[in-house]
Structures are given as structure tokens and as C-alpha cells.
Amino acid sequence: MTGGSTLPKRALGRELRRLRERREISQAAAARAIEVSPQTIGRMEDGHASRPTTLQVNGLCDAYQASDEERRFALDLLRELRATKLSGGGWWRAYADEIPRDFNHYLGLEAAAREMTSWQITLVPGLLQTPEYRRAIIWAAHPDWPTADVERRLALARQRRDKLSDNTFRLNVLLSEAALRHHVGGRAVMADQLLHLIRVSESPNISVRVVPFDSRSPIGLVVRSFVLLEFPVPSNTRIAEPPVAYVEGYTGDLYLERSGEVAQYRDAILDITRVALDEQGTRDLVESVVKEYQR
């Protein structure tokens, strides 16, 4: 892929759509506000506009009565869009003090995805975490956070889990056995978390499979944890968004969308799946680990 990452453009489009729909403004009315065609607004929101301008984004923020923080957010995305045109395709988003704490590109991608495949070595993936398990992770990473901030993160996690009730969404989870055995929050928290894992694995749109310690292939350890996100085809443009491989880091996140890079992660998924237990074998293993925690 040439021209840098499309992710900032797609994130900007989603934010502009969110602001417009919140005010119940039609695309035609938005187009009149900045003197473009409704088709241009549609392309901007779908992430296909070639060169959205600062004047256009500011004009839309005016029309949508965006807050100062929302306007800064949109303009930051516009600046990143321009900067990534000079990059080779991958996009590294480092955390910084000037970025709002809840500003997370991954959450926007997750909300838009029609299918996700998650390979996790150490932790249960966020969409399947219980509140107590998630709380233990937050306190470990941010021991100085006020309780109110922790509870806000837990509320966000609850909203994310609503996606699992959408039957058009598919979640494939591949877990190292190590993720079942790390004592996050203590034995009782882990037992409850693993029982929840068993329950959700019975949903028709969720697959959970574990790679046991005696697996013959170390490929999952080589590639480390990642998520592959795939997206639906928009009904208006019929242009599919490219899939994204997401790799979370301690100080920043890596988003990969070049076809060659995504293909390597697809190959890794196939290799990991070959050595994973099937779904019933996974439930049997998880139940045995639950009994160990309950002793």
C-alpha cells in the first residue's frame, strides 16, 4: 500500500459521522454547511475522501456544535492523516499527555469490525473479561488512579461487551494455556473469569480455543499477542475497508494494514489454530483449571 496508513482517515470519518448523527443532521444538510456535495460527506465519513481540509473539518465541527475537545480530536486526526501520507503503511500511535485518556483508535476499529481473531499469550481478551478481572488489570497498570477513573474504565468495558450480542459479529479467540494460569486478581477472580469463558464459548458467534503447554509449535510465542480485525462492506460505497492487524504495546500501539503484513498474521492464525484444542477440548481444559483454583 502506498500513501501511508488509511487508519487516521477512517477514524476521522467515524468521528465526523458520530458528531453528525448525534445532532440528527442529514448528509445533505452537512454538505450545504461546507458547500460540498452529499457524496463528498459520505466519502469523508467512509474514510475515502482524498484530501479533507482544515476548513472543511472546522466547518463541520461548527455545524455539529462540537465541543472544543471534540474539535481538537478531529483536527488531530486530520494532522495525523497528513503525516502518515509520508509513512510506509504501518501506523504507530504512541500515548501522550495531550491525548485524551479515553481516546483510543482501537476501540473505534473494534466497534466497526464484523469479525475479530484474537491471539493472547498472557491475558483473557478485553471483550471476554469479567469486571473483577478487568479491575485487577487496571489497578496493576495504574495503582495511583482514583476509584472514579477505574470505574469509568469498567463502564467502558461493559459497553464494549454489548458487541457480543450482535449475531452479525464473529469473535475467534485463541489463548495460550498460560492465560488460564496467571493469577490475575487471585484464585477466586480467576475461577470466576474462567467460568465466564466457558459460558460465552457456547455462544454461536464466539469461538474459544486454547493452545496447551505441550503444543508442538512455538509460532504463537514468536508472533506474540495480536488481534486481526476485519470489516463489513459499506452499503453505499461497496468498497471494503482493508483488514488491520493490531499489536498492543506498553507505550504505544501498532496498526498494520499492508497486505503483506496482514497475510503474515493470517498465516500465524492458521498455524496457531492447527495446534489448538478444539472447542470442547478447550472447555474440558478450562474446567479442570477452574477446579484447581477452587481447591
> Do 15 and 75 form a contact (C-beta atoms < 8 A)?
no
Helices (H), the chain: 7-22, 27-34, 38-45, 54-63, 68-84, 105-112, 131-141, 147-161, 177-181, 187-200, 219-223, 259-275, 279-294
Of residues 171 and 104, more confidence is placed in 171
Please tell me the least confidently modeled range out of 144-148, 202-206, 278-282, 284-288: 144-148
Grid cell of 216 as nine digits:
508442538
Q: Which of 53, 175, 69 is nearest to 125 (CA)?
A: 175
Sheet holding 206-211, edge to edge: 91-94, 252-256, 244-248, 226-230, 115-120, 170-176, 206-211
Q: For 15-44, give one letter per residue: b (16+ CB within 10 A) or e.
A: bbbebbeeeebebeebbebbebeeebbbbb
Question: Rounded to whole angstroms, what are the CA distances from 58 to 3, 184, 246?
Answer: 24, 45, 30
Q: Determine the length of the chain.
A: 295
Helix (H) or strand (E) holding 230: strand 226-230
pLDDT attached to residue 115: 97
The residue assigned the cell 468498497 is 239
Instruction: Report phi then psi at 169, rounded to 5.
Output: -100, 140
Which domains does the chain possess?
7-85 (1.10.260.40), 105-294 (3.30.870)
Residue 108 has pLDDT above 90, yes or no: no
Residues 39 and 215: their CA atoms lie apart, in Å, by: 52
Say how many C-beta atoms besides its own lie within 10 A of residue 230's C-beta: 16
Average pLDDT over residues 203-224: 89
pTM for the full predicted model: 0.77
pLDDT attached to residue 237: 55
Tell me the pairing of strands 170-176 and 115-120.
parallel
> Please, what is the angle between helix 131-141 and helix 147-161, to 10°?
130
Residue 89 has pLDDT above 50, yes or no: no
Q: What is the mean pLDDT of the chain?
A: 86
| CA 213 to chain CA centroid, nearest Å | 27
Residue 281 has pLDDT above 90, yes or no: yes
pLDDT attached to residue 239: 64
DSSP string, 178-209: HHHHS-SS-HHHHHHHHHHHHHHTTSTTEEEE
pLDDT attached to residue 12: 87
- Beta partners for 248? 253
Rounded to 5°, the CA angle 152-106-93 comes to 105
